[in-house]
Amino acid sequence: MLSGIPLFPEQASTLAPKVDNLYFFVTAVTAFFALLVVVLVTIFAIKYRDRTGEKVGSPIHGSIPLEIGWTIIPFFVAMVIFAWSTIVFFHIVRAPDQALEIYSTGKRWMWRFQHLEGQSEINELHVPLGLPVKVVFTSEDVLHSLYIPAFRVKADAIPGRYSSIWFTPTKAGEHHLFCAEYCGTKHSGMIGKVVVMEPNDYQAWLSGGDLSMSARGEQLFQQLGCVSCHLNNGSGRGPSLAGKYGTQETLANGTTVAVDDRYIRESILTPQMKLVVGYQPLMPTFQGLVNEEGVMSLIEYIKSLPSTGRPAATTQAGAAVQGAAPALAPADGGPR
Amino acid sequence: MTTTVLRRVNYLNVKYGVASWLLTKDHKRIGILYLIVVAIAFLLGGIFAAAVRIELTTPQGDFVSADTYNALFTMHGVAMVFFVLIPAVPAILGNFAMPLMIGAKDVAFPKINLLSWYVFVIGFVFTLAAMVLGGVDTGWTFYTPYSSVYSSSHVLLTGIGVFIAGFSSILTGLNFAVTIHRMRAPGMTWFRLPLFVWALYATALVQILGTPVIAITILMLAVERGLGFGIFDPRLGGDPVLFQHLFWFYSHPAVYIMILPPMGVISEVIACFSRKSVFGYSFVAFSSLAIAVFGFLVWAHHLFVAGISPYSAMIFSFLSFAVAIPSAVKTFNWTATLYRGAIWWRAPILWVFGFLGLFLIGGLTGLFLASLGLDVHLHDTYFVVAHFHYIMVGGAIMGFFAGLHYWWPKMTGKMFSNSMATLAALLVFVGFNLTFFPQFILGYLGMPRRYHVYSPEFQVLNVLSSAGASILGVGYTLVACYLLHSLWKGEAAGANPWRATGLEWKTESPPIPENFAETPIVNEGAYEYSKREVKVA
Ligand SMILES: [Cu+2]
Ligand SMILES: [Cu+2]
């Protein structure tokens, strides 16, 4: 820590070297142009110095070829950087399909992480080495931004929306996790660490947890009475949700929407906004009755429902005896 | 021209007394009035910055509380952006010099010009009131829903101050645009205009078209905060990211309100002190317009990680690269202007050299942030802080000082100490780099901005930065000292101490109230140094 001045951050994900190579390239290009101008200005300033202030300069007014040259060449160079950086960017924003999902909510001033298997943690994020991980998150209050410098990833946490980052850790150990979007008094205290573990250790760590997310979602589905309207055989007052996830839904106004995290979240919190064709606007809003984490658990549960037959999550429902407290914990529930 | 007669009437001594200043319609006096208010804002903003740098010398939050720290960096930003950078060059130097440079007696609407100053002062007073009552802690960007719902600081009062000050900027822009269209002296064609005037014209367009948007945005913020209407707060059905779009739709172009006029100053000073015409005059002139237009199309580069679609991010990235080109063109033209000049090393051009070095770094590091793949990592870190300080302080403030030194003898009729000014330029240049260069490294290391407490490995670089800031402080104080000193002890400047072309140098220093004894007639381009031996008036 005290050994001199750090100049360069640790590379701890597969993305990091990609970002860094681009960084070195842009640094080299810009350093070249900066040096070019600085050297020329210095040479001219010294060579053509006139101590008297009496002389006049040469009658040069300009040169069209030069103007064209120094418009086109920088433009071309800029386009190379643009192309390269856009490729890297699409790599950063597109998570691989098989990525392990972890849900998170940011709120003033902590990050809460919820693993699908049930473990949840605050300001610490345990992830397996060498496996792609996708963190899906939102905010319960103001804007935040989930930033892991060693992985070179960041995205804003926006209330009312889901954002995500993904990474494949390449270095075991602990890395900084920061809130990068100003969020008030303890903005700089909204930090934590990412703990990268060997996959086996990660599994062991996970099994220390309680109910899986979808099992918790199933509990909520019952407690909140969703089940009374949404029967799996489609005979209820609301549509069957089995196998819905990932399909297209036709709405009362004739448009179609993809049934994804965002749509389900809207259906739960603002059900009247998008009505399913053929159904009455009966569904009550659950705003205030279920917190962000509860919504995420419900989404996980709905995702897990196969197109026919019993929901998959029931297999784990044995653990449900422990009660529903975790998922229904009030928004400001402390570390568990 | 005749030689200066002692005790001639000029704009400063034509009338005395506070009322003669507060009721003046003379653009030169109004320029001075702005100088006074902006200097106060600069001092305040500087004090806030100093407190921030003191806090950051240690990783712990030991100098001020977290809330105070948040208020300090916010008020630093608000004071510097809205009350220093935006008005500095157009309202001070533009007001003073532009009508002289085009051979006019005054601006087109002298009363509106005075009105803009009053509007500006009223805006400043509101903002000051907010500061005195405990400040505002949202960051100068006022992001919702923090600003509209959560912050318990004086957001509304500050917002009103910024809202009002915006109208002063609009009025100045209108006044200048009309003045440049209608008030040019006979023979002063568009392509004989000094490039500073071109820059002010381009700036006026941005001021007129952009500033109303921030006014509307602040109004919406106030309606949500004060009346609970859901516009930006998602719990009321609003969209927090909409605020960012609106805010940056003004605030990115506002960067050009801050930098275009200093760019114009640079052209004037480089031409004068290398005794040459500005290389590629029309390219420099049109690049100002290109920047003003393109500047409106890049706002979402502030939102690359705020959940916008990756495809729109791609388009905004492309446009941000495109807007860099006209600035590059200007820089190359300035460099080429020096080639085979007769460069007279006086204080103003030394500030220009400083500007070139810093603006270059500021502009080039902008390319890092325009690059999508890098911005994800760099966004909201100290890299961004360093980048925009290189542009706004290294560029805009250095340019302002170049202009202030250049026109000071004209404004006051007095010469300042050239050796002191040289020393100050050097101190500011060195201090600036020491303050902000380490912040690029901090940013790439991952230190987020607006952090009161930070991780210990960032300390060394932060200490360097704070050390640099103290040198910078000494440099600025020195400028204030020798400029004020020159008012009492400075030698008489004479009409044209720099032996410059340009109409403003053809009248006396300080100019007579009506600027020119008789309307000047122009029959050549702006920088015809090589055509004739420049005569000392
Ligand atoms: Cu935060
Ligand atoms: Cu911008």
- Per the CB < 8 A criterion, the answer to whether B271 and B278 are in contact is yes
- A174-201 as b/e: b if 16+ CB within 10 A: ebbbbbbbbbbbbbbbbbbebbbbeeee
Specify whether A33 is located in the same domain as A178.
Answer: yes
Q: Is residue A313 part of a domain?
A: no
Determine the residue among A22, A156, A174, A269 to mutate to test chain B binding: the one whose Cβ has the most chain B Cβ atoms within 10 Å. A156
* Ligand 2 midpoint to CA A97 (Å): 34
Specify whether A183 is located in the same domain as A87.
Answer: yes
Neighbours of B313 (CB within 10 A): 23
Specify whether A71 is located in the same domain as A172.
Answer: yes
Q: Is residue A50 part of a domain?
A: no
Question: What is the nearest CA distance from B148 to chain A, expressed in angstroms?
Answer: 10
Specify whether A264 is located in the same domain as A182.
Answer: no
Measured between alpha carbons, how far is residue B501 from residues B30, B269, B404, B475 in Å? 24, 11, 17, 30
Residue A1 pLDDT class (50, 70, 90 cuts): very low
Closest ligand to C-alpha of residue B370 is: 2
Distance CA A336, CA A333 (A): 8
B232 to chain A: which residues are within 8 Å by CB?
A: none
Q: Is residue A222 part of a domain?
A: yes
Specify whether A165 is located in the same domain as A236.
Answer: no
Question: What is the nearest CA distance from B440 to chain A, expressed in angstroms?
Answer: 10
**What is the structure's pLDDT at B532?**
59
**What is the structure's pLDDT at B67?**
94
Q: Which domain holds residue A253?
A: 213-304
Say whether residue B143 is in contact with chain A using an 8 A CB cutoff: yes
A32-46, A86-100, A233-247 — which is least confidently predicted?
Answer: A233-247
A158 to chain B: which residues are within 8 Å by CB?
A: 234, 240-241, 306-307
Question: What is the nearest CA distance from A306 to chain B, expressed in angstroms?
Answer: 31
* Ligand 1 midpoint to CA A185 (Å): 9
pLDDT tens track, chain B, 537 positions:
445 445 678 999 988 999 999 999 999 999 999 999 999 999 999 999 999 999 999 999 999 999 999 999 999 999 999 999 999 999 999 999 999 999 999 999 999 999 999 999 999 999 999 999 999 999 999 999 999 989 989 999 999 999 999 999 999 999 999 999 999 999 999 999 999 999 999 999 999 999 999 999 999 999 998 888 889 998 888 999 999 999 999 999 999 999 999 999 999 999 999 999 999 999 999 999 999 999 999 999 999 999 999 999 999 999 999 999 999 999 999 999 999 999 999 999 999 999 999 999 999 999 999 999 999 999 999 999 999 999 999 999 999 999 999 999 999 999 999 999 999 999 999 999 999 999 999 999 999 999 999 999 999 999 999 999 999 999 999 999 999 999 999 999 999 999 999 999 999 999 999 999 999 999 988 898 877 554 433
What stretches of chain A show up as alpha helix (H) in DSSP?
Answer: 15-47, 64-93, 199-207, 213-223, 226-229, 261-269, 292-304, 325-328
H or E stretch at A156: strand A153-157
**Cis peptide leading into A65, omega within 30 of 0?**
no
Distance CA B95, CA B118 (A): 15
Q: Are B373 and A84 within 8 A, CB to CB? A: yes
Question: What is the nearest CA distance from B125 to chain A, expressed in angstroms?
Answer: 25
Closest ligand to C-alpha of residue A108 is: 1
Q: Is residue B14 part of a domain?
A: no
Among candidate residues A157, A183, A210, the one where a domain is terminated? A210
Q: Is residue B5 part of a domain?
A: no
B231 to chain A: which residues are within 8 Å by CB?
A: none
B345 to chain A: which residues are within 8 Å by CB?
A: 45, 49, 51
pLDDT at A89 over 80: yes
Measured between alpha carbons, how far is residue B349 from residues B270, B273, B504 in Å? 6, 6, 18
Among candidate residues A192, A210, A228, the one where a domain is terminated? A210
Q: Is residue B521 part of a domain?
A: yes
B325 to chain A: which residues are within 8 Å by CB?
A: 71, 74-75, 78
Q: What's the total number of domains in chain B? A: 1
Task: Examine the predicted complex and report whether its ipTM is higher than 0.90.
Answer: yes
Q: Are A22 and B374 within 8 A, CB to CB? A: yes
Say whether residue B342 is in contact with chain A using an 8 A CB cutoff: yes
Distance CA B81, CA B464 (A): 25
- Per the CB < 8 A criterion, the answer to whether B109 and B48 are in contact is no
Q: Is residue B245 part of a domain?
A: yes
Q: Nearest CA to B296 among B330, B243, B245, B252?
A: B252
* Ligand 1 midpoint to CA A190 (Å): 6
Q: Are A8 and B444 within 8 A, CB to CB? A: yes
Q: Is residue A48 part of a domain?
A: no
Q: Is residue A287 part of a domain?
A: yes
Q: Is residue A114 part of a domain?
A: yes
Q: Is residue B152 part of a domain?
A: yes
Specify whether A113 is located in the same domain as A140.
Answer: yes
The amino acid present at B47, given as its one-letter code, is I
**Residue A59: which residues within 8 A CB-CB, separation 6 or more?**
B276, B277, B530, B531
Q: Is residue B2 part of a domain?
A: no
* Ligand 2 midpoint to CA A17 (Å): 27
**What is the structure's pLDDT at A4?**
63
pLDDT digits (tens, 9 = 90+) for A283-313: 888 888 888 888 998 998 898 887 754 444 4
Q: Work out the mean pLDDT of chain A and round it to a whole number.
A: 86
Residue A335 pLDDT class (50, 70, 90 cuts): very low
**What is the structure's pLDDT at B174?**
97
pLDDT at A71 over 80: yes
| CATH number of the domain enclosing A90 | 2.60.40.420
Q: What's the total number of domains in chain A? A: 2
pTM of the model: 0.86
Residue A209 pLDDT class (50, 70, 90 cuts): low
A141 to chain B: which residues are within 8 Å by CB?
A: 145, 150
B328 to chain A: which residues are within 8 Å by CB?
A: 33, 70-71, 74
Specify whether A97 is located in the same domain as A232.
Answer: no
Specify whether A204 is located in the same domain as A250.
Answer: no
**What is the structure's pLDDT at A229?**
85
Q: Is residue B9 part of a domain?
A: no
Closest ligand to C-alpha of residue A182 is: 1
Average pLDDT over residues A61-85: 95
Q: Which domain holds residue B321?
A: 22-536
* Ligand 2 midpoint to CA B256 (Å): 9
Determine the residue among A18, A44, A174 to mutate to test chain B binding: the one whose Cβ has the most chain B Cβ atoms within 10 Å. A44
A1: closest chain B residue by CA: B457
pLDDT at A327 over 50: no
- Per the CB < 8 A criterion, the answer to whether A143 and A181 are in contact is yes
Specify whether A168 is located in the same domain as A277.
Answer: no
**Residue B512: which residues within 8 A CB-CB, separation 6 or more?**
B8, B9, B10, B11
DSSP state of A321: G
**What is the structure's pLDDT at A312?**
41
A3: closest chain B residue by CA: B457
Specify whether A196 is located in the same domain as A246.
Answer: no
Pairing of strands A192-197, A248-250: unpaired
Q: Facing residues of A178 across strands? A: A147
Q: Are A147 and B448 within 8 A, CB to CB? A: yes
Q: Are B306 and A49 within 8 A, CB to CB? A: no
DSSP state of A281: S
Distance CA B126, CA B131 (A): 9
Q: Nearest CA to B175 among B235, B119, B224, B215?
A: B119
**Residue B246: which residues within 8 A CB-CB, separation 6 or more?**
B213, B214, B216, B217, B220
Residue A318 pLDDT class (50, 70, 90 cuts): very low
pLDDT at A3 over 80: no
pLDDT at A19 over 70: yes
Specify whether A193 is located in the same domain as A82.
Answer: yes
Ion ligand 1 contact residues with beta carbon within 5 A:
A 144, 179, 183, 190
Q: Facing residues of A103 across strands? A: A114, A136
B360 to chain A: which residues are within 8 Å by CB?
A: 33-34, 37-38
Q: Are B241 and A158 within 8 A, CB to CB? A: yes
Q: Is residue A310 part of a domain?
A: no
**What is the structure's pLDDT at A189?**
93
Q: Is residue B410 part of a domain?
A: yes
A61 to chain B: which residues are within 8 Å by CB?
A: 277, 279-281
A42: closest chain B residue by CA: B353
Residue A322 pLDDT class (50, 70, 90 cuts): very low
More confident residue, B456 or A320: B456
Specify whether A180 is located in the same domain as A118.
Answer: yes
Q: Can you read off the two tokens belonging to residue B466?
A: 């704070």
Q: Is residue A141 part of a domain?
A: yes
Question: What is the nearest CA distance from A222 to chain B, expressed in angstroms?
Answer: 26
Closest ligand to C-alpha of residue B375 is: 2
**Nearest CB partner across the interface for B342, out of A50, A62, A75:** A50
More confident residue, A234 or B37: B37
| CATH number of the domain enclosing B188 | 1.20.210.10
Q: Using N-to-C axis directions, what is the helix angle for B459-489 and B27-55, rounded to 10°? A: 150
Q: Are B367 and A26 within 8 A, CB to CB? A: yes
A192: closest chain B residue by CA: B455
- Per the CB < 8 A criterion, the answer to whether B45 and B76 are in contact is yes
DSSP per residue over B190-235, as a string? GGGS-HHHHHHHHHHHHHHHHHHHHHHHHHHHHHHHHH---SS-GG
Among candidate residues A193, A210, A227, the one where a domain is terminated? A210
pLDDT at A316 over 60: no
Q: Can you read off the two tokens belonging to residue A240?
A: 């069957």
**Nearest CB partner across the interface for A30, out of B241, B357, B364:** B364
Question: What is the nearest CA distance from A279 to chain B, expressed in angstroms?
Answer: 24
- Per the CB < 8 A criterion, the answer to whether B126 and B78 are in contact is no
Q: Nearest CA to A158 among B145, B529, B217?
A: B145
| CATH number of the domain enclosing A267 | 1.10.760.10
